[in-house]
Chain A
Amino acid sequence: MSTLPTWMFLAPFLGALLVGIAGWSVRGLVRPVALGAMALTCGLSVAALLGTLGGEVLVTHMGGWPAPLGIVWSVDRLGAFMSVVVAFVSGVALVGSRATVRAELEGRETGFYTCALLLVSGLLGMTATADLFNFFVHLEVASLSAYALVAAGGRGAPQAAMRYLIIGSLGASLYLLGVGFLYADMGSLNMRDVAQLLPETDGRLASLGAAFMVVGLAVKMGLFPLHGWMPSAYGRAPFASGAMMAPLVTKVAAYGLVRMLFWVFGYERLQGGLLLEVLCWAGAAAMVVGAGLAFFQRDLLRLLAYSSISQVGLIALGVGLGNVSARTGAVLHIAGDGLMKGVLFLVAGALFVRHGIRKVDDLGKLRGREPLLSATVVVAGLSLVGIPPLVGFFGKWYVLVGALEAGRTEFAALIVIASLGTVAYVFRVLEKLYFAPRTDALPPAKPGGAMAMASAAVLAVAVVGLGLASSVVVQSFLMPAMEVP
């Protein structure tokens, strides 16, 4: 038995505690403590990755209680992959948030770093647990932290946070109800146990439970048409919060969907059924609608929110299609979009701190002033459009191949349409950055944002790197990870 899974969740959790203490006594220690906790967390997740490389699974029985009585934590290749993505992206985002925290959250750093670390601990708990109810608990820990992080913003932020809270809690409640149905039928909350017991039931309660769970997770993912909380929440949240939340919260919920559908319920049982079909169409609709609406947004963060809705749609489509290629694409895109959105939110924050820019149209005033930031936007934007060899292309490629292998050419066509929409909004931004007419001079940049720029650059390099390495990653890690024992 390994305790690594629990330590991955505990490190940021205890870190949050220490941050609280530090905030109460020595203000200046808050950020270093938080970053230290994140560094530790990253190290632990890498250790988990290395520990599962060969296919081993890290298992913890909480309190020593054997399954299925006790709560079991289990980190396999997929879980380790997700942990590394979460830890890495949130760590870099936290590092890059120094200037935005100072700009928008002056005096409330303790609260911010506490909530941020709690968010990470919740997300990592979700990736490491093998118990359905435990998953709910971590889901809510992460969500509550997210609601608080959003509410800390300026005008309109608390309202957006309240809306997020209500819709999000509704989703979590539905998930819980679904778990209830499964428990009523099978008497177990352990994922593997449920998977083994399912064939022996008559399936009706299980189907109902599955439906509720999927809807609940879809709300947390922001899958169309349950995405209503996202544009305002991302649009109004402080930049520092956005950088932490936006790339990750929906993606870990998507991971939850993958885990439930393939490991608990089993693809063979769901194949050809209504649930996956609805998931495919919801995903396809999200892709197209998200990209289309993104084009018309005037606020930069809202544009990014709709872009996320679109990318989540692609992930959902990949999950719904379910064959090996499509689900590999979905998971790869979870990582890819996490990186891409991380870059874009960090850049948005840096632009706000240095130039006070929040609107897409104002980007035109930047002509030639921010070469590094513009370059990272180019990388992330082209990856969103799907230009090889960036990572965004490969996520799309695998889902596309999956759709064609399954004979669902209509989804291939919708991917193309969504890609055209993505071209539109990405190049709208790029055009403003590089080809807008030179207008009156912008006042010189306010100092700051160096950490944000460096962090964005690191994530942009990762976008390129993961893209180039994607074949190796997919072949040696992701595809084996997606095989359900």
Chain B
Amino acid sequence: MTVGVLLPVAIPFVAAVVTLIASERYARLITYLAAGSTGLATAWIVPQVVGGVAPSVRLLPLVPGLDLALRVDGLGMTFGMLAAGLWVITSVYCAGYAEATHLANQKRFFASFAGSVGAAIGVAFSGNLLTFLLFYETLTLCTYPLVAHNENRESIASGRRYLLYALSGGLAVTVATAWSWSLAGTLDFTEGGFLAGKASEPVLTVLFALFLGGCGVKAAIMPVHAWLPAAMVAPTPVSALLHAVAVVKAGVFGCLRVLGFVFGPEALEGSMAPMVLAALCGTTIVVGSVLAVAQDHIKRRLAYSTIVHLSYIVLGGALMTPLSMTGSIVHMVNHGLAKITLFFCAGSIYAAAHVDKVSELGGLGRRMPWTFGAMTVASLGLMGVPGLCGFVGKLLLGRGALEAGQWVYLAIMLGGSVFTAAYLLPILKNAYFEGPATAKSGEAPVAMVAPIVAVAVLVVVFGAVPAVMGVQHALAAGVAAGVFGGNP
């Protein structure tokens, strides 16, 4: 079964290389093939992981005693499936977007995209910190050309800022990894962590800061979040899959991995560090929500929304209870589904009507029924309306806060939901209830609308279909149980 684990990581990278070598005409075809096969290969492993087996493979030694190793457990499966599955849908959307906006440099675009997805799946499937680091840095490098894609001054500046933030974060993780290696002699992700008792309290605290600071950059926790709104200059499919799903979720994933599989409840017992992290997340939720309301540029508003929801997820990890961690993992997926829908819609609005500001959305709702229908569904989902995907995650997170006795964070979470409504509903209001359309347009091309509808359907499926929700919950709860060893 080793091949089964390797394929989802290898196929995207191979596709990236092939895309670069082949003619630009084939770029989209290669992407479809790669995305399809990666999705299938990833889905293939799901039954095993759900059944409790964690397939793994050791590829090659990187350092004596440390291999490039892949190991797919519940957490990795969840993130991997999210990335691989959404790539399938996004590849169709990319094609439509590229067509509609006459995207330049398509070879570089599609190759970088494939590389980024491969790196994200690599992050998901990493079995130890060094492998994680390798794919984490690769992710930064593959996404950089996408951020700077438009090559105007804004894009280049954003690209530089992104690199600076992301590589600095990567360096922090590198130092922390080297340190952990010298302290513990192993870097394998272990349920419940492997650092307990290996170093003194101050050293563990510094390590915590380095790891969470480093991963926190990609997870856009304040104050290292500033790269994300700036990165919105990238083409919308980039913002959608990568900056709403793959890159930021890699950061969040990293935080959860470190919290549960490097440190663990035992090592963090009595430490102030998780509380500090929680406080930062709480602050991010509050400040981010306010900033989101203030944004007129649609994608920037969505970017701040992403920042807020990422902090929800990390907060769940920081609270260190089984329920909150389960909630984090569930919300990681559900937020991704809803957010990608919203970004897709933003992209189609731009492609069809050349509108990118909330204030200019007047009346478009009737002219673009599918787009805004999906947007409504996703917005309601993100607000936590029962029956749609956001509800379960938020419920678990709230219960987790209660379990940890942290009423403040429960209040913050609820407040965040209110604010979510506050910044998402006006979009819909402008679209549906403002006067006749100020911009004339029709619906976006089918190649863009079909994926939008598909992800909107997923938003519903993950909120209302017991079979799917059951599997998702089982995986997440299984991870939490492993981390906490069954202790409440």
Contact = CB atoms under 8 A, between A and B. Distances in A.
Nearest to B163: A427
A472 B61 contact: yes
Interface string A378-407: 000010011111000010011011001100
A431 interface: yes
Interface residues of A, number: 32
A447 interface: no
B62 A387 contact: no
Given A401-B181, A404-B178, A435-B156, A474 B64 contact: yes
B167 interface: yes
A108 B316 CA distance: 71
A385 B167 contact: yes
A432 to B, nearest CB: 11
B172 interface: yes
- Interface class of chain A by DSSP: helix
A382 B171 contact: no
Given A394-B63, A420-B168, A423-B164, A387 B182 contact: no
Contacts of A479: 64
B236 interface: no
B63 A474 contact: yes
Given A389-B68, A389-B134, A416 B172 contact: yes
Contact of B179 (A398, A412, A434, A437): A412
Interface residue tally of chain B, by bracket?
20 to 34
A22 interface: no
Nearest to B133: A388
Contacts, number: 75
Contacts of A435: 145, 148, 151, 156, 159
Contacts of B175: 400, 404, 412-413, 415-416
A404 B179 contact: yes
Contacts of B430: none
A401 to B, nearest CB: 5
A3 interface: no
Contact of A427 (B61, B137, B151, B160): B160
A435 B149 CA distance: 8
B60 A387 contact: no
A311 interface: no
B182 A404 contact: yes
Contacts of B64: 471, 474-475, 479
A2 B145 CA distance: 55
Give the most central of A387, A468, A474: most B CB within 10 Å: A387
Contact of A420 (B60, B159, B160, B171): B171
A437 B138 CA distance: 25
Closest 4 CB pairs of A and B: A471-B61, A475-B64, A388-B134, A400-B178
30 contacts: A382-B141, A386-B174, A387-B138, A387-B141, A388-B62, A389-B68, A394-B62, A397-B178, A398-B63, A400-B174, A401-B178, A401-B181, A404-B182, A405-B182, A416-B172, A416-B174, A420-B168, A427-B160, A431-B160, A435-B148, A435-B156, A435-B159, A437-B151, A470-B63, A471-B60, A471-B62, A471-B63, A472-B61, A474-B63, A479-B64
Interface of A: 382, 385-389, 394, 397-398, 400-401, 404-405, 412-413, 415-416, 419-420, 423, 427, 431, 434-435, 437, 468, 470-472, 474-475, 479
